[in-house]
Amino acid sequence: MGKNKQTSRRKLAQLASAILCNAHFGGFASGNIYKGSLKGLCAPGLNCYSCPGALASCPLGALQSALSELRFKLPLYVAGVLVIFGVLFGRAVCAYLCPFGLVQELLHRIPSPKIKKNRLTRLLSLAKYAVLAVFVLAVPLYGAISSGFALPAFCKYICPAGTLTGGIPLVLGSELLRSSAGALFGWKTAVLAAVVVCSVFMYRFFCRFLCPLGAIYSLFNRWAVFGISVDAAKCTKCTKCGRSCKMDALLANDRECIRCGECRHLCPTGAIACAPPKADKADKKGGNYNKWEVK
């Protein structure tokens, strides 16, 4: 499959996912959040609970909320959902099923000078693990243990997807919310504006450097069932896949690969395929992806 055809199919999947996750169309007109039974389910990608069109919950928001009950029960449902999505898709969720990923890709198509990946961006890609540890886990856990209330720190202080699809539509649709919007809403709007501007110049800026959901899915990436795999017997470590990738991946299927499959046609030995992974043997034969430099 050629790169253009692969990209077109992926864009259709992204669009379909965005529509299906936000199919409560009446909510955009009324300004009301859907609170039906489907809201008890988690969407695979970053899709704000407070978006007027959202039918399901965001897994990160659900995780932070579930931590408030940690003294009484474990957040097994949310953890199980994240594990299932991770085992099945890894970071393919980022490429095919996350609405905010589509938004960033469209922003990047705006004509402008582009900042290409390099060793510094690879290093900065580790920042999303810090965001996960601090804002999604540590701060909510501290609140849950100390006061019984898990402050949803990531949703409250950072998440640009929530501001774009939830905060702004709700504020625009409600005179009461407009009059009460204060410094916090101003801060969240500034964060969104910064992400929007950076996404024009850098491919998937938020996904690469700040998204804790991508950080979670990256832990499963090399072993996830659906997406792509690298045949260790055919791979020559020529790094063409990594060098062609707009993400901070060094080789196909490393932690920064979103498994979009657009590098498949570049592989000179046909080692990259849509099949269950075979990364274990590659690692034992010296295929430690982190040793390969971005050129």
pLDDT bin (cut points 50, 70, 90) of residue 231 is confident
Average pLDDT over all residues of the chain: 88
pLDDT on residue 55: 95
- How many CB atoms within 10 Å of residue 288? 13
Residue 193: left if φ>0, alpha if ψ -120 to 50, beta else—which one? alpha
More confident residue, 4 or 165: 165
Question: Over 80: is that where the pLDDT of 16 sits?
Answer: yes
Spatial neighbors of 289 by CB under 8 A, at least 6 apart, are 250, 251, 253, 254, 255
Question: Whose structure tokens read 């501290």?
Answer: 142
Least confident of 64-78, 147-161, 248-262: 64-78
The proportion of the chain whose per-residue pLDDT surpasses 90, expressed as a percent, equals: 64
pLDDT on residue 1: 53
**Structural tokens at position 166:** 């939830």
pLDDT bin (cut points 50, 70, 90) of residue 199 is very high
Question: Over 50: is that where the pLDDT of 209 sits?
Answer: yes
Give the residue-averaged pLDDT of 188-201.
98
In order of 53, 209, 223, 255, 278, the CA distances from 282 in angstroms are 44, 27, 12, 15, 7
User: Domain limits of the chain?
Assistant: 3-218
pLDDT on residue 179: 77
> Quick check: 89 and 44 in contact, CB under 8 A?
yes
- How many CB atoms within 10 Å of residue 187? 14
Give the residue-averaged pLDDT of 144-157.
90
> Quick check: 67 and 141 in contact, CB under 8 A?
yes
pLDDT on residue 2: 59
Question: Over 50: is that where the pLDDT of 294 sits?
Answer: no
Report how far apart the first and last C-alpha atoms of the chain are (Å, whole number): 26
pLDDT on residue 146: 86
pLDDT bin (cut points 50, 70, 90) of residue 41 is very high
* Per-residue H/E/C for 241-266: HHHHCCCCCCCCCCCCCCCCCCCHHH
- β strands within the chain, DSSP E: 229-230, 272-273
Question: Over 50: is that where the pLDDT of 285 sits?
Answer: no
Tens of pLDDT, residues 138-150 = 999 999 888 888 8
Give the residue-averaged pLDDT of 176-199.
92
Query: How far does Cα 173 stand from its chain's mean position?
Result: 27
* Helix-then-strand count for the chain, H and E: 18, 2
Least confident of 40-44, 68-72, 134-138, 264-268: 68-72
Tens of pLDDT, residues 74-131 = 778 999 999 999 999 999 999 999 999 999 999 999 999 999 999 999 999 999 999 9
pLDDT on residue 278: 56
> Quick check: 258 and 245 in contact, CB under 8 A?
no
In order of 51, 66, 186, the CA distances from 33 in angstroms are 7, 20, 22
Question: Whose structure tokens read 């075979």?
Answer: 278
Rounded Cα gap, residues 76 and 74, in angstroms: 5
